[in-house]
Amino acid sequence: MTTAHVTTGPGRRTLIGGAAALTAGAFSALPLTGARAQAANTIRIGVLSDMSGPYRDATGPGSVVCTQLAAQEFAGRGFNVEVIQADHQNRPDVGSTIARQWYDQGVDAIVDVPTSSVAFAVNTIARERNKVFLNSGAASSDLTGPQCSPNTVHWTYDTYMLAKGTGDAIVRTGGQSWFFITADYAFGHALQRDVSRFVEAAGGRVVGAARYPFPQTTDFSSFVVQAQASRAQVLGFANASLDTVNSIKAAREFGLHRSMRFAALLMGLVDVHALGLAEAEGLLLTESFYWDLNDRTRRLSTRVRPLNQNRPPAMVQAGCYGATLHYLKAVADMGVAAAKADGRAAVARMKAMPTDDDAFGAGSIRADGRKLHPVYLFQVKGPRESSGTWDYYRVAATTSAEDAWRPLAEGGCPLVRT
Amino acid sequence: MDEIFGIPAPLLFGQLLLGLINGAFYALLSLGLAVIFGMLNVINFTHGAQFMLGAFVAWALLSFLGLGYWWALLLAPLIVGAFGVLLERTMISRLYKLDHLYGLLLTFGVGLIVEGLVRNEFGSSGLPYRIPAELQGSWDLGFMFMPIYRGWVVVVAIVACLATWLVIEKTKIGSYLRAATENPALVQAFGINVPLMMTLTYGAGVALAAFAGVLAAPIYSVNPQMGANLIIIVFAVVVIGGMGSILGSVVTGFGLGIIEGLTKVFWPEASATVIFVVMAIVLLTRPAGLFGRA
């Protein structure tokens, strides 16, 4: 029988500082009573996500819902599944404290972990403890590059695929000179680097970049005016979430949409929702999942919405569903005891089995931990074209699983070389 | 083209102007804080949440009642100010006799609760709010395009700052207020209702925060974190200006906006830090702040 428990830790702001934050993490990570008796026959999954910060709507509680849904749908395979959750507050110190506690207290797999800097920390800990790390929320392609690990699967998306999807599409249709507004941390740097490569490979050039402090920046007008002064043809937003929304708003306010093309390099459904179709109309963006893509994604969305404040799953949340489902399939295949004893073996089994789920269809996981599935370039609909809330995208192009991701040999993953 | 420190002059002028615009927000927010601290001796850590509430009320007025920006500019400060009055009457007023720290912790806690409730109800990714049709578009200043709305923000902020200063420094009610700060018992003895005055002062400070929130709604995404991000900078502004000094908070608000704006050109990565560097230097050399009385 499959059970899905949820501990509800209230979201906390990061103002008080380290001590309070660590306490918060410790409380959210407390083990559940009653679960210990069946510990040997229970797979424990911890959803470690942003429950209170800017990435909450695209990950957070929706990721928990999707992970639970996968657990419920996999019921009756002779073992229990328990899902717990915690808020990492987008801070590597908080995230790694929780990850260590969880793994030491018998959590077998950590799911989601948006924010690349936190994901790197969890990646290292999962490897040390020989547990499983199913990343859906973080973007940096280094997770399957120099930092790749035999204990990690990077499921949903990465900076390379975003760069290729949106960056390459724009540079090939004439956007030759680029200026970036970049979030000054691991993710922003990786995204700018990956896009720059495509721009330069296609004969274009990067004329400048403004790196702003993350997450303390609220006003982007200064960077927008610098971008305007650069006279570049394309303005690349190498940031995410609220920052993307705020920087696009500022760019439009200063009239940049009349002289430059916008490349929102990581933008998702909830960001379009926050920006509003009137301002987002026509933007090109890359995602590997959209709820209204086909019958299977629509069916998944129908199952998720009642549990998710009537919101369809966002890409990262759908990734949590797919990754958890496939992990549980691998566990069932190799036996609970073996899966709990050796995280590396569980991930190896995941790589050996073909994947198939309602969110991403059929796919596979590569030796470096990269999950492969098709990637879509979407164009945002206008207010008149949209039939209502969440009807935001039309498909502009589809890239096959073979072409969308960074070739195995180019990532620099030590697992592949040896 | 003329260059200053390797930066084209027009770009530099543009950035100075943008710094001034951001400074307008800092000034408006720190003004409310300074009024509340100066008159009530309460360090109002709910200020960021009240700023955010102002923006959310503007959004709600539009979405649920169809009342646009101009109505919001009037109604949101009244509604959020009323919330402030309620908060002062039921909670803050009980702490006047205690150390500042208790008021700080109470208001900090209330701020977190308010933000949490809004986040639970509306999510974290924000809600759209558009610039009113009358203020859309931009002026060509030669060295940059200046959105009309940003110009409007600066003008309104300066007017609001001046008006507040005039009320407190030049009117009878202002003189009562200042007297009540010095010696509440004596002022009370003259037949003036000091507790009521305190309540209304807090309400007015909160209304200023909500007013700034409405001004911010069209240019920043309306989201639960919008106040938390700004409030730390605004506290630094108040500390640099001198706790409780109204003139100090206004001048420092605009000044630091400009310093931050310039940092965004020369060293963008440090733009979030520069204000705190200034704060540390000021505290070391003038512990009471630039305009504070030691």
Please tell me the distance in Å from A113's CA to the nearest CA on chain B: 17
Helix (H, G, I), strand (E, B) or coil at B238: helix
Q: Answer whether residue A71 shows pLDDT above 50.
A: yes
- Give, in words, the CATH class of A18-157+294-373: alpha beta
- The candidate with the shortest Cα–Cα distance to B29, out of B205, B175, B176, B291, is B205
Q: Which residues of B touch A57 (CB under 8 A)?
A: 123-125
Q: Do B124 and A54 touch (CB under 8 A)?
A: yes
Binned at pLDDT 50, 70 and 90, residue A36 comes out as: low
Q: What is the pLDDT of residue A5?
A: 47
**Percentage of residues in chain A having pLDDT higher than 70:** 90
Do the chains contact at A217 and B271, CB–CB below 8 Å? yes
- DSSP letter for B290, please: S
Three-class secondary structure of residue A386 per DSSP: coil
Q: What is the pLDDT of residues B153-208, one digit of tens each?
A: 999 999 999 999 999 889 998 999 888 888 888 988 998 898 999 999 999 999 99
Tokens 């691998």 -> residue: A330
CA-closest candidate to residue B167, choices B74, B294, B78, B38? B38
What residues contact residue A187 under an 8 Å CB cut-off, 6+ apart?
A115, A116, A117, A138, A139, A140, A159, A240
**A289: pLDDT strictly greater than 70:** yes
Q: Read off the pLDDT of residues B74-131 as tens digits, 9 standing for 90 and up.
A: 999 999 999 999 999 999 999 888 888 899 999 999 999 999 999 988 888 888 898 9
Which chain B residue has the Cα nearest residue A245? B221
Strands (E), A261-360: 261-264, 284-287, 355-357
Q: What is the pLDDT of residue A411?
A: 92
- What count of Cα atoms within 13 Å lies in the side-chain half-sphere of residue B293? 5
Cα dihedral B258→B262→B263→B267 (10° resolution): 170
The Cβ of residue A372 has, within 10 Å, a number of other Cβ atoms equal to 18
- Looking at the structure, give the CATH architecture of the domain made up of residues B3-285: Orthogonal Bundle (1.10)
Interface of A with B in 257-276 (CB under 8 A): 270-271, 273-276
Q: How would residue A128 be classed by pLDDT, with cut points 50, 70 and 90?
A: very high
- The answer to whether A211 faces chain B, any CB pair under 8 Å, is yes
Domain covering A160-287+374-408 in this structure, CATH number: 3.40.50.2300
Question: The sheet that has A234-238: what strands, in order across it?
Answer: A205-212, A177-183, A234-238, A261-264
- The predicted model gives B226-244 an average pLDDT of 88
In this predicted model, what pLDDT tens digit does every residue of A224-282 receive, in sequence order?
989 988 999 999 999 998 899 999 999 998 889 988 999 999 999 999 999 999 999 99
Which ipTM was obtained for this model? 0.83
Instruction: List pLDDT tens digits, range A129-167.
Output: 999 999 999 999 999 999 999 999 999 999 999 999 998
Strands B145-147 and B138-140: antiparallel
pLDDT on residue A97 = 97
Residue of A179, A228, A242 to mutate, interface with B, max B Cβ within 10 Å: A242
- A94, A13 in Cβ contact below 8 A? no
Cα B273 off chain centre by: 19
pLDDT for position A172: 84
Q: What average pLDDT does the structure give for chain A?
A: 89
| Chain A residue numbers touching B115 (CB-CB < 8 A) | 13
Which pLDDT score is estimated for B64? 94
- Look at B226 and A11 and tell me if their CB atoms are within 8 Å: no
Which residues from chain A sit within 8 angstroms of residue B121, using beta carbons? none
Query: A225 to chain B nearest CA, in Å?
Result: 8
Tell me the one-letter amino acid at B11: L
The answer to whether the CB of B74 falls within 8 A of the CB of B209 is: no
Measured CA to CA, the distance from residue A265 to residue A180 in angstroms comes to 10
Q: What is the pLDDT of residues B8-37, one digit of tens each?
A: 777 788 888 889 888 999 999 999 998 898
Query: For residue A9, is pLDDT > 60?
Result: no
A244 touches chain B (CB under 8 A): no
* pLDDT band at residue A17 under the 50/70/90 scheme: very low
Residue A143 half-sphere exposure toward CB, CA atoms < 13 A: 38
Task: Please tell me the predicted confidence (pLDDT) of residue B294.
Answer: 57
A222–B contact, CB cutoff 8 A:
yes
For chain A, residues classed under CATH 3.40.50.2300 are 18-157+294-373, 160-287+374-408
Least confident of A7-21, A176-190, A316-330, B251-265: A7-21
Indicate if the pLDDT at residue A54 is higher than 90. Answer: no
- Residue boundaries of the structural domains of chain B: 3-285
B15 chain-A contacts, CB cut-off 8 A: 222, 225
Predicted pLDDT at B2:
66
Between A325 and B228, name the one with better pLDDT: A325
Mean pLDDT for the stretch of residues A99-109: 96
pLDDT at residue A16 greater than cutoff 80 = no
Does residue A253 contact residue A219 with C-beta atoms inside 8 Å?
A: no
Residue showing tokens 């400070």: B205
